[in-house]
Structure 1
Amino acid sequence: MAILPFAACLMSLSCLAPAQPPASTLQLTSHDTANHIGAVVLTCDPPGGTHPHRDKACAVLDGVDGDFSRINARHQACTLIYAPVDVTAAGTWRGKPVSYRTTYPNHCAADRDSDGVFGF
C-alpha cells in the first residue's frame, strides 16, 4: 500500500516544494549626538527593503547567521573624532527573534565595524 503515503503527500503539498527558510526582516536604526536619526528596513531571503546596500548587508548577516556580534569589521581607516552613534537592530532572522544594540565611536566606525550593515 505504497500509494497511501504518496496520496498524503499530494494532499498536504509538502512534498512538492522544498522548504523555504523563514523570511528575515530587520528594522535598523542609528542615532548620533547631533540628533541625526537614520532608519531602514532590511529584508533578506530575498534581499529587499529600504537599506541602500541590501544585497551586501544580507550577505554579511548570512555569513554570521544573523548574529550581529559575530560580524567581522572590514579594513578601513576612520577618523578618531568621537561622535558616538547608537545603533539597534530588531526583528527576525530566519524565524528567530533579533534584538541588538551597541554604540560605535562615530558613523565611519559603525559602517566599518558592521561591514556595511549600519552603513546608511
Structure 2
Amino acid sequence: MSLSCLAPAQPPASTLQLTSHDTANRIGSVLLTCEPTGGTHPKRDKACAVLSGAGGDFSRITARHQACTLIYAPVDVTAIGTWHGKPVSYSTTYPNRCEADRDSDGVFAF
C-alpha cells in the first residue's frame, strides 16, 4: 500500500468582472482576481484588500471619508463572478462617480 502526501487545499481564486456605466454613456469594465491578486483593475491590491475585509460582500464595504459634490449623474455598477468559490452577483446605482469610488472604497474606481 502506498501513501501519498496531499497538499493542503487552496481556497478557490476569487474572480470578478466589474463594470460601470454612466449618463454620459461611458462604460468601464475591468477584471479583478484576488488570491492571487491580478487582473486589469488599476488598483487591484487595494480592491482585493477592501473586498477581503468585507468578506466579499459588497454591501459590507465601509465607505471612506471623502466629500463629493451633489451633482446627480448616476453611475450603474455591477460585479459578477466568484468570491472564494461562491457566486457573486451585485449591482447598484450611485448618484455620481465620486460616490461610487468613495462608497466602494475604490473597488469601482476605474
TM-score w.r.t. structure 1 length? Answer: 0.88
Q: Which amino acid aligns with 1:88?
A: T
Matched residue SS, 1:69: helix
| More contact order relative to length (CA 8 Å, sep ≥ 6) | 2
User: How high is the sequence identity, in percent, across the aligned residues?
Assistant: 80
Which whole-Å CA distance do the structure 2 matches of 1:64 and 1:19 have between them?
23
2:27: which partner in 1? 37
Q: Cα offset for 1:92?
A: 0.4
Q: Cα offset for 1:20?
A: 1.1
1:50: which partner in 2? 40
Q: Which amino acid aligns with 1:118?
A: F
Among candidates 4, 8, 11, match of residue 21 of structure 1: 11
C-alpha deviations, 1:55-113, integer Å up to 9, x for none? 00000000111000000000001111000000000000010000000000000000000
For structure 2, the 5+ residue unaligned runs are none
Q: Cα offset for 1:18?
A: 2.3
More helix by share: 1
Matched residue SS, 1:25: strand
Paired residue total: 110
1:94: which partner in 2? 84
Matched residue SS, 1:86: strand
Bigger Cα Rg: 1
C-alpha deviations, 1:3-27, integer Å up to 9, x for none? x6xx43x1xx42xx22211000000
TM-score w.r.t. structure 2 length? Answer: 0.96
Runs of 4+ more than 3 Å apart:
none
- State whether structure 2 residue 66 is matched by structure 1 residue 76: yes
